[in-house]
Structure 1
Amino acid sequence: MHGTIVPKKHILALTIASLFASGAATAQVVTADDTATATVVVTGTRVATRTALDTAAPVDVISAETLKNTGTTEMNQALSVALPSLNFPRPGLADGTDTIRPATLRGMAPDQTLVLVNSKRRHASSLVNVNGTIGRGSAAVDMNTIPTSIVKTIEVLRDGAAAQYGSDAISGVVNVRLRTDRTGGEATVTYGERDTDYDILTSAAPAGATWSAKNSRKRNDGETATVGIWKGLAIGESGFLTLAAEYKDQKRTERGGYDMRQQYPLVNGRFDPREATIDRFNAWYGEPEMTQATLFANAGNNLGGGARIYGWASYQNRDARSAGFFRRAIQDQNIISIYPNGFLPIIAPTVDDYSATAGVSWMAGDWAMDTSLGYGKNKMAFTIENTLNRSIGPNSKTEFDAGGFSYDQLVLNLTGVRSVDMASLASPVNVAVGAEARREGYKLFAGEPDSYRYGGVVLPSGLPAPPGAQVFPGFRPANASNTHRTAIGAFADVEANLTKELLASVAVRAEHYSDFGDSLTGKLALRYDFNKSFALRASAQNGFRAPSPQQQNFTTTSTNFIDGIPYEITTFKPNDPVAIALGAKPLDAEKSTNVSLGGIMRLGGMSVTVDAYRIDIEDRIILSENLTSAAVRNFITSRGFIGVGGGRFFINGVDTTTRGVDVVMSMPWNAGDSGKFDLTLAANFSDTEVTKVPVTAQLAALNPAPVLFDRINVLSLEQGQPKNKFNANLNWKLGQWGATFRATRYGKVLAPGTSAPLDFVLDPQTVVDLEARYAVTRQLNLAIGADNVFDEYPASLPPALNTTGNAPFSNFAPYGRSGRFIYVRAAYSF
């Protein structure tokens, strides 16, 4: 089916028609604790007893034990080494993206994956990624706001599901299922640090220099301590309250290159003697410095008469510090009297994240009813440290409040599910109907005036000094906004075995958004079991992703001086008059068509699934290139906008086609005196092609005509993530001993340049992780391990692509660039 805009008067009729439709999906387990045949799943199906290998589309189920047996307590990182179709690049020198890093599924954008908690929609982060990283232009859910200690399992549906869940579920769904323990608990302490050596390519020193290059470096840094605890408490005879708390203290890593540039002004025509002694590893390029405190609670209780009340709440505070590019003492951006040796500006955001959901389920005749109300908010406020406003002069402050933004979401759900016996079918028909209302808000607030204003200073060159806080000029009052939108939707799905061998599932959903209009989506999924050992499954569906409030309302402005004339360079809202003059239009929903075909094989205790898919997306929302050419400035001026030097804006118009295959093999076996083993081998093969890029008549008429979406961004979508990824995970247990071996092979990645000679290829690389465990007693368990045992790094960029020396490794490296991490963990259960 193809995405359709539907008149409002048709929504009721479509909702009634959708009573003949439904969604089923889910299927492959990658844990050492649960067998595939016994794992009941809830994601993508509303049949209460559907197990992981008996569904019509693939789902991976990751247990709490799998998450714990890694060297990280970071949710996205743990998922990325468990799932070959999920990637988590770790960019640096990318402003707020250093603090809130998005993950991707099946090579799609981060905001094209829907995240649920206990099958309820999770709120997104307020940050929209506007730098040149994977996920540029997206605002995704921050999975790292959920501590791993509260997790029971995670179900990852690798199939489109907009007809079942609404917007964002183009590439799939991640459903975090929380613990429901009435008793017990566990306290865990994890400590680790980086022990690493890396090599870099370095440019030549200037003629007559008194310093020489250093091409290798040893580092012991990134010390990370995490303390977590969860406890189950009984409420009455059947209720529970599960509490979790986590505190994380992470030191920064430094993986900068050796800065060979001249740092100081010449002294009597010669290099300053300090050039030979200054530390030229002057960048914080790596993991940010961070402290993070998280609280999470999940509760439920029976009310009698088949009714049950439930709810959960969370809060996280995250203080982070990362850096921009180093400002040398000699640069115009510096004031010698404030920073005699230059300065490294620090971006220090504070993130506060809240959520609370409460609901009740009950029986109304044959209907199992459920209703819930959930609220979530993410706020990000920026402080810029160790910097200055050059245009103010020697009296400039060195720390600024730069403003920030917040996003909040209120969701009301009502769902009814019942089973209807039909003699002509091989199973009862599972019917589900429901409705959802959602209110979303986005607020952008300004920083203090000195963080953005021009103070009037003129440089010795005669040009005005750059205004605003160096590295991150503050948001201006003109940027501030406080906007809201609403969305209402209705869905229905039906699932049944038409024959003993044939399972069918159909879903239909209609939604209305207050800002862009209506959407109708549908899904058909089939599964045919030839015998107990072999089955085929297939699905076809259309989907959509609504433009986010962040994309519609984010704006920021900086003043650039061009030939001594100040110009305002802005990220414009799509409805801004300047953006409209350049051809911008109100954002519409992205529309997708998904088809998949897969097979499931059971061979004794071994299971194998193979699923091929194709995802066609029309009108993807992208952030345009920076449009600052003289032709653009002249065009804007001719339309009456004086002093505007250009900018960029969000626009629909990119079409892509993604084809891929997922393969998962799981095999547990008991080797007797040699212990119990559980082996999972998995692979993802994916290829994305950009088939259309946006154009506007206004820009096309200019000479030269600027490009709205240039080769760097096109190639980032096509080749910026691995075209293949392989995971091998082996768990072993014998008595008190246990171990995990994990190897992840990342395929080739392209870091695109402005032209083909500047493209940089990151060759395939395999990263190996090891962990050994010992149960001292039934309650006390110890572990020691190493992630990236062999200390692998991506290839170092040549000096032509790393002119500052600050960033020797590409941000497109799919496993980051931090090197070996050695850790110990102690867990005490009670």
Structure 2
Amino acid sequence: MTNLRPTLAVAVSALALSYAAAASAQSVPANAPEATAPEAAANQDIVVTGTRTTGRSRLNSIAPIDVLSAANLQHQGTTELAASLAAIVPSIDFPRSSAVDGTDSIRPATLRGLSPDQTLVLINGVRAHTSALLNTNGSVGRGSASVDLNTIPSVALDRIEVLRDGAAAQYGSDAIAGVVNLRLREARTGGGASVTYGQYITDVTTARGARSEHDGKTVTASGWQGIGLGEDGFLTISGEYLNRGATSRGDFDPRKTPLTVRSRFGDPAVEQYTGYVNAAAPLGDTGWTLYGFGGYQHRNSTSAATPRINGGTDNNANAAALATLYPDGFTPLIAVESNDLTETAGIRGELSGWKVDFNVSYGRNQLNFNTRNSGNATYGANSQKNFYDGKLTYDQLVGGIDVSREQPLGEGTINIAWGVEYRRESFQIGAGEPTSYNRAPGAASALGGGAQGFPGFQPSNVIDKHRDNVSGYLDLEAKPTDKLTLGAAVRGESYSDFGETATGKLSARYDFAPWFAIRGTASTGFRAPSLQQQYFTSTASVLGTGGAVVETGLFPSTSAVGVALGGQPLRAEKSRNLSAGFVLRSGGFDLSVDAYQIKQRDQIALSENLSGTVVAALLAPFNVSAGRFLLNGIRSTTKGIDIVAHYRKATPAAGTFDLTAAANFNDIKVTSFPGNATITALVNGVSTSSTQALFTRQRIISFEQGTPREKVVGTVDWSLDKIGVTGRASYYGDVTQPSSGNGLAANDIHSGRHTIFDLEARYQLVKNVNVAVGANNLLDTYPDYVKLTSSVGTTLNSTGLVAFPYYSPFGFNGRYVYARIGLSW
């Protein structure tokens, strides 16, 4: 990293905070008994992620693992799983982008600043399916298709394990940054329910003025029930209902009087229903257990496109054409209906001394798109207002067998694990209704075809693609002595579309004493290009030369258009991961520090849009005027340090203190990227060339500075009898939203460095009833607003549509206050 002083400062601060808290908590009468049991339980979180050896705790693990309990997730105002994770784990970020079409509704999370699709997500150790959406606009994670964490409700979870280490050799594709394993609740008895209500109560200050907002009203009702199956089995049912209002944080729009906020720049309105089940039951006295889990979510999410203003200084031709329907203009709404399904069944037991686990899992995500409060300007007054825009569907079938056995090795033991997996994936695009994408005959060239805000998928975009993958692995973890642990893993993969790859991993840990150990790993990793990246197509019809209707948009790299522009079949992304760190513990205190380096090559990114006279001439045979595609060719190096300090102390007089100070320092450098493309075509019979950038400074800055390079989270959780309080302070380093194209650094937009404070207080009214009140972002902190002009005089905020950088790692909604009532039985 370029500067280790901040890292060292925070490491010292974390230690000081933890020891100071410990000293404070220990200021009790000398004869007070030691509360060792709760402390031991807190430090012995048994993990199953990153190891196939049973009984390994997070502090004894060979690689860094965070273990988050259901209480960790629940003691905050948000009920979104991704937002809850980001609030607790410094290495995870969940930007709340806006005005980026479908990504407003299906927002991706990142680990260690890497692409959202470079984190593998598991549910009960089984690979989860990704969303059907490819992020194609200017958000963090542009060009990726990742798992939508918000399809799993927090109420269904017992805990989450976050492996902060490359693990492709153990789990396969996508685990370049790490692994998030969601462990579902297992209960034979008991249950609970809660209702949470909250809203934003905030004062918004933008470049053109200030105002107060009370919006984003949210109601969440959730519950779970444990049911016994036979003598030892269980069935746990969980459900959640969420209704959240939209927020609006745009600036005042100067293009028309009166001066008012005309955009809806903020969170979408959401209504969703989610249900999950988790079950297991022994098969008599055979020693085998049948198990299964799954869930379904239906989500309706409505975000806003940019407003089309009729009149004023904007002179929007599309708004003028639709003035009969919308005299003052209109704001198109993008409605995304998501239907998400997960089903898994398996059997586990012992065969000839080997533990065997066989399971089959199916996952499916379908997104239906509609544009509302809109119009097709080419039809003018005869246009409809609401459109069906088509759908995206992704599904995944996974079958696997995992076999393991621990046996003696000299004076120690070795755990041998091996397995095979088969995976089948498919991706489809369905067309929208004709008026969502076409142009009326004879329409003026200045008018946009299709639905304003989100043109529908055209028949030429329709695809139905599939692929298969077979993989096998061997994972060894040996403990030749009480002090030394060694690990080795190797995995081979064969894909039907891009071929074969192999990865490996070596790990080691040495315990110098019960209170101090060092650990390290070295591994190679890969991420297969997703079907969405290979085949996603989205085009718009425009009026070309001579009045011909042509298309422009995003094309597969292997399509005729993609190949003409220089596209090639996508290759797998590759990585080399190194990590080293130490673990220190004493009583209720523990500290882990882990440094890492991740070198990547062949990273996949979305090219810039290639256009102009030469491009149009080249693509004329395909009835296309311009286009972009996904390509390999980016190399980067990520270096960082994770620090986690934790102290827990239970005292009879002062209550139980649970204190955590955690930090992530991350530095990403793009070391090489695709150069310019030289395109040659006959223009009016003359061979003409045009040089265009495939990958601009804007994309480089997004890679390097699109997530905070420093994030520090300090949490205090205290309880005494019927009272509990959780306080959290989160410091976010500056994030850069780059100026367009190859613009100047002076024109970049910065979020600034800010600290967010959260506070929740809880009280147990009676034995089974508790209430809580709290505030996220208690002090109503915002990122730096977008200025009217930059330091070099460039206009940055001419319309007022966007008031804050949508790269902001903590959003731009301000203070959120809430109340919760819970019931347990």
Q: 2:573 matched to 1:590? A: yes
User: Quick check: 1:631 aligned with 2:614?
Assistant: yes
Pair 1:617-2:623 in alignment = no
The reply to whether residue 449 of structure 1 matches residue 438 of structure 2 is no
Distance (Å, rounded) in 1 between the aligned partners of 2:68 and 2:670: 32
C-alpha distance in 1 between matches for 2:514 and 2:546: 76
For 1:389 and 1:748, the matched residues in 2 are separated by: 41
Alignment deviations for residues 650-692 of structure 1 (CA, whole Å, 9 cap, x no partner): 1111111100000000001235422211100000000000011
Query: How big is each residue's C-alpha offset from its partner over 1:487-518, in whole Å with a ceiling of 9 and x where there is no partner?
Result: 00000111011332210000000010000000
One-letter identity of the residue aligned with 2:248 = E
Asked whether 1:290 is paired with 2:288, we answer no
2:304 to 320, 323, 328: 323
Partners of 1:346 and 1:385 within 8 A in 2: yes
Q: Does 1:113 align with 2:101?
A: no
1:529-568 per-position Cα deviation (integer Å, ceiling 9, x unaligned): 1111111100000000000011111101102346775441
SS in 1 for 2:120: strand
Deviation larger for 794-803 or 167-176: 794-803
For the residues of structure 2 that align with 1:195 and 1:315, how far apart are their CA atoms?
32
Matched, 1:719 2:705: yes
Pairing 1:417-436 to 2, within 5 Å after superposition: 417-423=404-410, 426-436=411-421
1:136 to 1:654, Cα distance in 2 relative to 1, 3 A: same
Which of 157, 160, 171 is equivalent to 1:151? 157
Q: Distance in 2 between matches of 1:137 and 1:450?
A: 27
- 1:826 is the counterpart of 2:821: yes
C-alpha change, 1:681 and 1:707, in structure 2 (3 Å) is same
For residues 748-787 of structure 1, what are the structure 2 equivalents within 5 Å? 748-754=734-740, 755-756=743-744, 757-787=746-776
Answer yes or no: is 1:796 the counterpart of 2:785: yes
Corresponding residue of 1:84: 90
Distance 1:379 1:635 in 2: 35
**1:700/1:782 CA distance change after superposition, 3 Å:** farther
Contact 2:678 2:689 in 1 (8 A): no
Distance 1:561 1:449 in 2: 17
What residue in structure 2 maps to residue 8 of structure 1? none
Q: Is this contact kept in 1: 2:758–2:776, CA < 8 A?
A: yes
Query: Following the alignment from structure 2 to structure 1, what is the Cα–Cα distance between the partners of residues 60 and 85?
Result: 23
Q: Which residue does the alignment assign to 2:694?
A: 708
2:815 pairs with 1:815: no
Write the letter of the residue equivalent to 1:523: K
Contact persistence 2:39–2:648 (CA under 8 A): no
Instruction: Report the residue type matching 1:229 in the other structure.
Output: G
Amino acid in the other structure paired with 2:673: V
Counterpart selection for 1:514 from 487, 491, 496: 496
Once the two structures are TM-superposed, the CA of residue 763 in structure 1 deviates from its matched residue by: 1.4
* Cα displacement (A) at 1:457: 4.6
1:44 is the counterpart of 2:50:
yes
AA paired with 1:576? S
Give runs of aligned pairs for residues 526-605 of structure 1, distance below 5 A.
526-561=508-543, 565=547, 566-605=549-588
Q: Could you tell me which residue of structure 2 aligns to residue 188 of structure 1? A: 194
Q: Counterpart of 1:367? A: 354
Q: Could you report, residue by residue, the CA deviation over 1:459-496 in whole angstroms, capped at 9, with x for unpaired residues? A: 4xxx4521100011100011001111000000011101
After TM superposition, list the pairs within 5 Å mapping 1:355-394 onto structure 2. Answer: 355-394=342-381
Indicate conservation of the 8 Å contact 1:772/1:783, yes or no: yes
Please state how far the C-alpha of 1:366 moved relative to its aligned partner.
0.8
Match of 1:102 in 2: 108
In structure 2, what is the equivalent of residue 266 of structure 1? none
- Asked if structure 2 preserves the Cα contact closer than 8 Å seen for 1:456 and 1:464, the reply is no
Give the aligned partner of residue 29 of structure 2: none
1:473 aligns with 2:455: yes
Counterpart of 1:280 in structure 2 is 260
**1:703 deviation in Å?**
4.5
Structure 2 vs 1, CA of residues 753 and 87 (structure 1 numbering), >3 Å: closer, same or farther? Answer: same
Distance, in Å, in 2 between the alignment partners of 1:89 and 1:457 is 43
Do the aligned residues in 2 keep the contact of 1:457 with 1:465 (CA within 8 Å)?
Answer: no
State the AA in 2 paired with 1:415: D
Distance in 1, Cα, partners of 2:564 & 2:508: 48
Q: Contact (CA 8 Å) 1:583, 1:698: kept in 2 or not?
A: no
Aligned ranges 1:29-428 → 2 under 5 Å: 35-202=41-208, 215-262=209-256, 275-276=257-258, 280-303=260-283, 304-330=285-311, 331-334=316-319, 335-423=322-410, 426-428=411-413
Deviation of the 1:632 alpha carbon = 2.4
- SS of the aligned residue for 2:567 comes to coil
**In structure 2, what residue type is equivalent to 1:514?**
S
Whole-angstrom distance in 1 between the partners of 2:446 and 2:781: 46
Secondary structure of 2:300 counterpart: strand
2:594 and 2:642 in contact (8 A); partners too = yes
Corresponding residue of 1:207: none
Identity of aligned residues (%): 44
SS of the counterpart of 2:703? Answer: helix
Give the secondary-structure state (helix, strand or coil) at the position aligned to 1:686.
strand
Once the two structures are superposed, what CA deviation does each residue of 1:234-285 show, in whole Å capped at 9, x if it has no partner?
00000100000100010111111111003xxxxxxxxxxxx34xx7211111
Q: Distance in 1 between matches of 2:616 and 2:508?
A: 55
Alignment match of 1:646 (pick from 601, 626, 647)? 626
Deviations 1:94-137 (A, max 9, x none): 11111010000001000000000000000000001000010000
Gaps of 5+ in 2: 1-37, 682-687, 789-794
| C-alpha separation in 1, matches of 2:376 and 2:677 | 39
* Distance of 1:35 and 1:362 partners within structure 2: 27
The SS at the match of 1:666 is: strand
Residues 751 and 785 in structure 2, CA contact (< 8 A), matched pair in contact too: no
Are residues 744 and 261 of structure 1, via their aligned partners in 2, closer, same or farther at CA, if it must alter by over 3 Å?
same
The alpha carbon displacement at 1:392 in A equals 1.4
Q: Is the 8 A contact 2:769 2:821 kept in 1?
A: yes
Range moving further from structure 2, 497-506 or 649-658? 497-506
Secondary structure of 2:448 counterpart: coil
CA RMSD of aligned residues (A): 1.5
Letter in 2 for 1:793: Y
Deviation of the 1:700 alpha carbon = 9.4
How far apart are 1:287 and its partner, in Å?
Answer: 0.9
Is structure 2 residue 641 aligned with structure 1 residue 661?
yes
Q: Distance in 1 between matches of 2:235 and 2:678?
A: 59
Tell me, in whole angstroms, the C-alpha distance in 1 between the residues paired with 2:545 and 2:395: 42
1-structure distance, mates of 2:39, 2:668: 35
Q: Which runs of 5+ in 1 are unaligned?
A: 1-31, 203-214, 263-274
Q: Tell me what 1:7 maps to.
A: none
Structure 2 CA distance for partners of 1:416 and 1:603, relative to 1, 3 Å: same
Secondary structure of the corresponding residue to residue 333 of structure 1: helix
1:692 to 672, 675, 688: 672
Give distance in 2, aligned partners of 1:126 and 1:395: 33
Query: How far is the alpha carbon of 1:302 from its aligned partner?
Result: 0.6
